């Protein structure tokens, strides 16, 4: 059973429809997976990971998620209750690559308490944010995170992550989750093929992305797009672009006749809206699920729904 721990503040096509229906059939009516409250407790740091873990363990373990749907991970800080839950877990599944900055100390403390923590991003062939580390995200003490932590925007890497999760679960909890993990990884690979076919509708000269911040690098690499600019420089939503950077981005949009700016569903679109207006062109601001699942009924309630909804919206904006 998936449970969210309270926070401090609180394809196109028939084949894909069938896949989504199968996914929904595995969930309970209230949108949470129908697992048992017994068995080991596995903590996932954010909602996308929680969905991956839940599909791996099924009803054999209780899955708890620190960051609920709609949370901006760059602004997240754990509550005292969440820190305690981490230290009592049988296994913690983390994103890695600096994604959970506000959880760094708590994850270290959990490891020191003897809790096994598996960090996925470092094992998934990470790519840099930009050439030569340009626009790297700086941590609290000036440490640069030059590798992009948003590996989950590539379903192939997510399928590989499922294998890593299954291995960690088997090693640390002695549960046999191989069948569920293999089935889910196959489903992600099938959806990846369908998305690739769908995105093929977009002409080569329109396969360009401008995003709210640097979050779709893995998506671009997987499906043959080019990220030609970001509104907020770097891999965090907390940075502030300079007037010069915004002026340069307006020029890029005008010169390349970019039809859309893709914003984060979990963040404000105000800056993207202002930028679109500054171009003097018909530029649409399109919301994508980037770092969190969506609320029930949003089209991003599960990881499979999230990646398909994003593909639908990108195709509609660019094709």
Instruction: Specify the pLDDT at position 26.
Output: 40
Instruction: Specify the pLDDT at position 216.
Output: 95
User: Could you read off the pLDDT of 15-48 as tens digits, one per residue?
Assistant: 433 343 334 334 333 333 334 457 999 999 999 9
pLDDT confidence band for 267 (50 / 70 / 90): confident
The top-scoring range by mean pLDDT among 78-92, 240-254, 256-270 is 78-92
Give Cα 250 to chain centroid, integer Å: 27
Please report, rounded to a whole number, the percentage of residues in the chain having pLDDT higher than 90: 71
Domains observed in the chain: 2-195 (3.40.50.1980), 202-318 (3.40.50.1980)
Instruction: Specify the pLDDT at position 213.
Output: 82
The reported pTM is 0.84
User: Could you read off the pLDDT of 190-226 as tens digits, one per residue?
Assistant: 999 999 999 999 999 999 999 988 899 999 999 999 9
Buried b (16+ CB within 10 A) or exposed e, 242-263: eeebbeebbeebeeeebbbbbb
Contacts for 94 with CB less than 8 Å, ≥ 6 apart: 45, 49, 100, 103, 107, 117, 118, 119, 120
């Amino acid at each position: 059973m998936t449970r969210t721990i309270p926070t401090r503040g609180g394809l196109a096509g028939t084949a894909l429809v069938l896949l989504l229906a199968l996914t929904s059939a595995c969930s309970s009516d209230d949108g949470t997976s129908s697992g048992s409250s017994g068995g080991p407790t596995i903590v996932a740091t954010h909602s996308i990971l929680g969905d991956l873990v839940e599909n791996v363990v099924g009803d054999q373990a209780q899955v708890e998620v620190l960051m609920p749907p709609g949370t901006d991970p760059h602004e997240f800080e754990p509550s005292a209750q969440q820190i305690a839950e981490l230290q009592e877990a049988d296994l913690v599944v983390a994103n890695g690559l600096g994604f959970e900055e506000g959880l760094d100390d708590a994850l270290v403390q959990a490891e020191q308490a003897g809790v096994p923590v598996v960090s996925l991003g470092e094992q998934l062939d990470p790519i840099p944010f930009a050439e030569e580390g340009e626009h790297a995200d700086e941590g609290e003490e000036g440490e640069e995170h030059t590798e992009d932590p948003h590996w989950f925007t590539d379903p192939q890497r997510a399928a590989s992550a499922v294998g890593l999760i299954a291995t960690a679960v088997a090693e640390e909890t002695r549960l046999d989750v191989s069948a569920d993990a293999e089935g889910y990884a196959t489903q992600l690979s099938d959806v990846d093929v369908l998305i690739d076919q769908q995105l093929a509708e977009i002409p080569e000269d329109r396969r360009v992305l401008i995003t709210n911040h640097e979050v779709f690098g893995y998506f671009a690499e997987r499906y043959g797009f080019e990220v030609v600019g970001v509104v907020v420089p770097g891999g965090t939503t907390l940075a502030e672009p300079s007037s010069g950077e915004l002026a340069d981005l307006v020029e890029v949009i005008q010169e390349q006749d970019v039809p859309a700016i893709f914003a984060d569903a979990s963040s404000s679109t105000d800056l993207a809206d202002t930028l679109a207006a500054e171009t003097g062109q018909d530029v649409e601001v399109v919301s994508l699920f980037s770092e969190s699942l969506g609320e029930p009924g949003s089209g991003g309630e599960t990881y499979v729904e999230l990646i398909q909804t994003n593909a639908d919206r990108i195709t509609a904006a660019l094709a």
